[in-house]
């Protein structure tokens, strides 16, 4: 995209999550725990034209790098996303997301009797299947609307 077409300003330092599947930007924000109340500086583009995807969403966050757990869950809802690390206005690192074998934290198990949903401090863990995820502890499978199982969603 050329500068004349730029819709959301460039950022100085932080992370640009580009090529997000159209419609998934708000779910990406939820995965990152961003709800606007903590003062984070965030720009969001939704359904912007993309040569590669037709339409894409884009999220730019100042002063933030993502954890591996966050990137892993993000890959489930935005498999084509590119994570760009920006320092002093330059992209210094660019990584495609890859589908991991397991994801930890962030998603919660829908089974009320699962050890991870009790009060015990057991971090959630899911094995990634071709068409969903399966709780490592109770084996409950989540196939649809993974986004609705994001903690605090
Ligand atoms: N970007 C930004 N602020 C910067 C630098 C880049 O917001 N200081 C954004 C760009 O607008 C773009 C993304 O980060 O959406 C990646 O930047 P760049 O690698 O320069 O763009 P492309 O070459 O188009 O990326 P790709 O090849 O991954 O499509
Ligand atoms: Zn479970």
Domain count for the chain, please give it: 2
CB burial string 14-35: b at 16+ within 10 A, e below: bbbbbbbbeebbebbbbbbebe
In a domain, 91, yes or no: yes
Domain of 58, in residue numbers: 14-96
Q: Are residues 42 and 59 in the same domain?
A: yes
Q: Are residues 61 and 119 in the same domain?
A: no
pTM to 2 decimals?
A: 0.92
Report pLDDT digits (tens) over 42-96: 999 999 998 888 999 999 999 999 999 999 999 999 999 999 999 999 999 999 9
CA of 112 to the centre of ligand 2 (A): 8
Residue 118 banded pLDDT, cuts 50, 70, 90: confident
Q: Which of 61, 57, 83, 84 is nearest to 11 (CA)?
A: 61
Q: Are residues 120 and 72 in the same domain?
A: no
In a domain, 126, yes or no: yes
In a domain, 78, yes or no: yes
Q: Which two tokens stand for residue 96?
A: 């495609």
Is 87 near ligand 1, meaning CB less than 6 Å away?
no
Q: How far, in Å, are 67, 68, 74, 80, 82 from residue 141 at the CA level?
A: 24, 22, 18, 23, 27
CA of 130 to the centre of ligand 1 (A): 30
């Amino acid at each position: 995209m050329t500068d004349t077409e730029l819709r959301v300003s460039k950022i100085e330092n932080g992370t640009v999550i580009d090529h997000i599947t159209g419609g998934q930007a708000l779910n990406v924000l939820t995965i990152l725990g961003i709800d606007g109340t903590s003062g984070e500086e965030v720009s969001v583009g939704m359904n912007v034209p993309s040569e590669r995807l037709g339409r894409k969403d884009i999220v730019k966050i100042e002063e933030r790098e993502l954890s591996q757990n966050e990137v892993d869950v993000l890959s489930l809802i935005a498999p084509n996303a590119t994570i760009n690390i920006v320092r002093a206005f330059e992209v210094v690192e660019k990584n495609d997301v890859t589908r991991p074998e397991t994801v930890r934290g962030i998603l919660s198990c829908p089974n009320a009797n699962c050890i991870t949903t009790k009060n015990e401090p057991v971090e959630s863990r899911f094995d990634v299947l071709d068409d969903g995820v399966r709780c490592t502890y109770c084996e409950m499978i989540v196939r649809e609307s993974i986004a609705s199982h994001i903690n605090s969603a």
